[in-house]
Amino acid sequence: MESGQPRSTLVMKTTPLSNDYSISNNVLGLGINGKVVECFDKNDGCKKYALKVLKDNIKSRREIDLHWKSSYCKHIVNIKDVYENKYDDTKCLLVVMEWLGKK
């Protein structure tokens, strides 16, 4: 996607994240709203991404919506996919973002 082109409406996936990504135990960071771990795309030659795990609530949905709408900008980390899944019987939003670390 070229910079400056607004994105289409976000459609969250409801299939298990594990169908498309393998999740590492390597924690990349911790934030107020959740942790970020590395994950690998099973369908894209094991390309590395950052996976942000958020509890499903209004605040998290707003954060994701605003991030999605602004990620056309080249200065904002791009969101690749968003999943609605359960983890330990807790509804979660799983945000797959481009990984900006060293290769």
Query: Which positions make up the binding site for ATP?
Result: 52
Cα-based distances in Å from 88 to 11, 36, 62, 68, 91: 24, 17, 23, 26, 8
DSSP classification of residue 69: H
**Other CB atoms within 10 Å distance of the CB of residue 13:** 15
Distance in Å from the first CA to the final CA of the chain: 22
Cα-based distances in Å from 99 to 5, 47, 60, 63, 77: 21, 9, 20, 19, 8
Binding-site annotation: residue ranges: 52
